[in-house]
A and B are shown apart, each in its own frame.
Chain A
């Protein structure tokens, strides 16, 4: 039997989705994804080609990583319907990298018998560096009773639930960083606007600044950080 479902009534703003650590990415997976998606861009599957255009090796397509983060949502929101899912690609994922997917409920609201939760999502590599961040909106039944009613053709349970982000004094966009103390691993690069490098063919990943709260563990990131400040 399918696993238990998730209902709106049991979700609270701030709830964390159980982190999902994926198996390390390998070249076989990159080939499989190329075949399954129809994206045969050689930078993802042809080592010689990738090196010929200045990359250290093949790397994972962003959409593969977005698929992994999508699994986090689907695993958590069983019985829910995904309404919106968007991401920004921040750092490249290489063979051998382990992607860890994380998320947190940022808002919940309901009106007219339709109920939604908003999720902040992000993915990190094994060094704790942010590789992707995004968000999602999921529509849920209010409760098991609500689901049973609707499935038998009755009207939904109607509870008016205002957006909590409007009720809570801290508006999401500007002061959320101050409010993330409960989740130290939250993506802090939000305000950096460090867009994907303009030079994707010359080892773009090494140009990124590591998330600020992380110790600069990689020696490679030190000169980069300096360079970025010039």
Chain B
């Protein structure tokens, strides 16, 4: 079972600069051609200051987090079971967002073959003034490697 002491472990904030090209490529990869992700003028006419990022764009942000380090185990496999976002405001091209990651919970859940280890990981994005932009929450089914790292 995963180490309960991992709860609360966090990574320092990492700067992510939101680039127009990155937004465009992300939207293209999803197959979403809404012009608010590509066209500056269209975005402004839609009431936004500039090009907007799609809802799941924070998935592309980097943080300094190394899950093995945060969880304190070698990881054999991870299964993404749930994902959630809370948005304080939309994310725009040109934003500079500091992303930090913390282990919010670690627990066991019964399943057909016994128990599985669950880790809940939270990312938090803040602007340069420290205002919250978004929170993201991942629920992962973790299979630890036999030997701890």
Contact = CB atoms under 8 A, between A and B. Distances in A.
B81 to A, nearest CB: 5
A82 B90 contact: yes
Interface string A9-27: 0000000000000110000
Q: Is the interface of A mostly helix, strand, loop or mixed?
A: mixed
B45 interface: yes
Nearest to A141: B47
Contacts of A78: 46
A85 B109 CA distance: 24
A36 interface: yes
B89 to A, nearest CB: 8
Interface residues of B, number: 41
Interface string A148-170: 00010000000000000000000
A29 interface: yes
Nearest to A200: B79
B87 A196 contact: no
A85 B86 CA distance: 7
Interface in B53-79: 54-56, 59-60, 62, 77, 79
Contacts of B55: 67, 70, 73-74, 82, 85
A87 interface: yes
B29 A36 contact: yes
A88 B82 contact: yes
A81 B90 contact: yes
B5 interface: no
Interface in A51-94: 53, 61-64, 66-68, 70-71, 73-75, 78-79, 81-89
Given A33-B30, A37-B26, A89 B62 contact: no
Interface in B69-114: 77, 79-87, 89-90, 109, 111-114
9 contacts: A32-B28, A63-B83, A68-B30, A70-B54, A71-B54, A85-B84, A85-B87, A198-B113, A200-B141
Given A81-B90, A86-B85, 9 more contacts: A33-B30, A36-B28, A67-B56, A85-B56, A86-B82, A88-B82, A196-B79, A196-B81, A198-B111
